[in-house]
A and B are shown apart, each in its own frame.
Chain A
Amino acid sequence: MTPASVADTWGQRLVPPYGLLIAGLSVLVVVLFVTSLVVGYAPLDVLKAVRDVVRGEKTLGALVFVELRMPRALLGCLVGFSLGLAGASLQGLMRNPLAEPGVIGISGAAAFGAVLVFYFGLAGALSLMLPLGGIAGAAAATFLLYALSGRGAGTISLILAGVAINSFAGALTSLALNLSPNPYAVTEIVFWLLGSLADRSLPYVWLVTPLMLLGWALLIASGPALDGLTLGEDTARSLGFDLNRLRLQLIAGTALAVGSAVAVTGAIGFVGLVVPHLLRPLVAHRPGRLLFVSGLGGAALTLAADIGVRIVPIRPELKLGVVTALIGAPFLFSLIYRLREEA
């Protein structure tokens, strides 16, 4: 018997079955979704409102339900899923737990793309312009990030590239505000930038859903290649994965998902950082399996945070982006601190 064949009990950490994890998170998302429908400022008999909607009666309750509560809850799911999934995908591609749309500048650039649309007054002309602006910004940032930090990016180069992109996008956004012709537009842009799910209507949902679904499909399909990338680029290629195609696929998927998310809700940061990090041990660190799970986790976290801002007695209502940043930034500190200790 060789020493290594002595039975050992290392690493017997609790990893739930994948199906159970998906089911559990799905239930959580459904519960939070329903809670999000129920919680709000206007007193609303939700059951009665649903009945009215089904019967086609245009009561006040039905109106609040369809025009306010429903889009808010749906966007919470869609945006949260997009952010969690994109975070997990980028972390898999860069093989770095700090890669996140917000930290590395993709959200900021998407926001700038959308701000440009506001600035030129195009948002009113064609509603599709807003998500398109966001997507263009996100795609440009992802591409730039990749060019700056390179393949198998180390933590330092990734963070530096993120800082550069974030500050550039921030500077351009400030420039747009600086040159903005009227104070009303400035207020509109600033509040929008803070990130919120409030007061978005159903057409927004219909607008971004197909774009996000396409983005999700591209990201989730990259699962096996991300698994292969765990062993480095050469091994991944020897397993039959075309890495150039994979990069394009992930850049396009992230741009579609995060770009549309930011375009409707403004910049909601850190969801893509916190969620994959918390869930990774539950899928035994397998990057492919982390994707869908992180999407569900992102939806749950975003819904929960959005319910939170409505419940806490602070008025005017805290913007969702402010809350996620307040929770997420200390989390980023601790993560960097721990990575430093490992290095």
Chain B
Amino acid sequence: MEIEARGIAVRFGTTPLLEGVDLVMRAGEMVGLVGPNGSGKTTLLRILANLRAPEAGEVRYAGRTARAIGMRELARQIAYLAQGGSVHWPMRVENVVALGRLPHRRAFYGVDAADHDAIEAAMMAADVLSLRARTMSQVSGGERMRVLLARALAVDAPILLADEPIAALDPLHQLQAMELLRSIAHKGRGVMVVLHDLALATRYCDRLILLADGGVLDEGPPERVLTDAHLVRAYGVEVVRGERDGVPYLLPWKLSAP
């Protein structure tokens, strides 16, 4: 499935946040949504997930509007992983992951074989199988994010929109999660991730969308988007660059001169 947003504008009252944002998200592609705090990444992701209506512009899913598709069907097409990840009741990990199957439920049917397989596969992929019997109050912040990632994977949707899925993870699980998301994308699904780690964004994303100054500052392959000039303008930082195994990386180093 392809998501296409045209002329998206977001305003909070009279304060504009985004103006005239166009973007396309295709199957088979891992897209990173980057930009400084408050640049509208989460808001844009929520608009793509049909959780918020833009003040102007529209989003189409494979050419159709969300209304035409319907909430339930859209829920099977798009998995959304929220930022921060609140869990209000101390449910068991495996039951939380199983919530991802809710869009597939049928009245008076319990968990069927397809649900069961999807739940197990999702727990395996996010490395939370060993936590399955714990409650959500018995897992750490990083483990919680992995459980919630598993929950999103359990939807088994063609599109995954993830808001800072690796912010709380340790380096091992950051790499694991990014590898996982990229492999999901390269198996033919569309993945969009909000990221702050520019090194991982460069390394794993096929394409980056850089939000700054109320719109898309640039988009394209990471090395083309994260130029020194763009990084100074968007974040106000200078970076050091290097290369390892033929893959370029960058590291935020100091504040840019004002």
Contact = CB atoms under 8 A, between A and B. Distances in A.
A242 B131 CA distance: 31
Given A5-B130, A11-B135, A227-B102, A285 B89 contact: yes
A239 B91 contact: no
A287 B89 CA distance: 8
Contacts of A95: 88-89
A237 B49 CA distance: 9
Nearest to A4: B130
Given A95-B88, A95-B89, A285-B91, A227 B131 contact: no
Nearest to A5: B130
Interface stretch (A131-139, A194-202, A228-236): A228-236
A284 interface: yes
A334 interface: no
Interface residues of B, number: 42
Contacts of B143: 4
A180 to B, nearest CB: 44
B78 A238 contact: yes
A284 B172 contact: no
A2 B102 CA distance: 30
Contacts of B129: 5
B71 A285 contact: no
Interface string A275-289: 000001000111100
Contacts of A231: 82, 85-88, 96, 99, 148, 151
Contacts of A10: 133-135, 138
A230 B151 CA distance: 12
Contacts of A284: 91-92, 95, 135
Interface in B135-182: 135, 138, 143, 148, 151, 155, 172
B103 interface: yes
Contact residues on A (Cβ < 8 Å of other chain), bracket? 20 to 34
A229 B76 CA distance: 17
B80 interface: yes
Interface in A239-293: 239-242, 280, 284-287
Given A11-B134, A224-B105, A285-B135, A232 B71 contact: no
Contacts of B244: none
Contact of B75 (A7, A238, A286): A238
Contacts of B135: 10-11, 284-285
Interface of A: 2, 4-12, 95, 224, 227-232, 234-235, 237-242, 280, 284-287
Given A95-B89, A231-B82, 7 more contacts: A4-B143, A5-B127, A11-B133, A11-B138, A231-B96, A240-B76, A284-B95
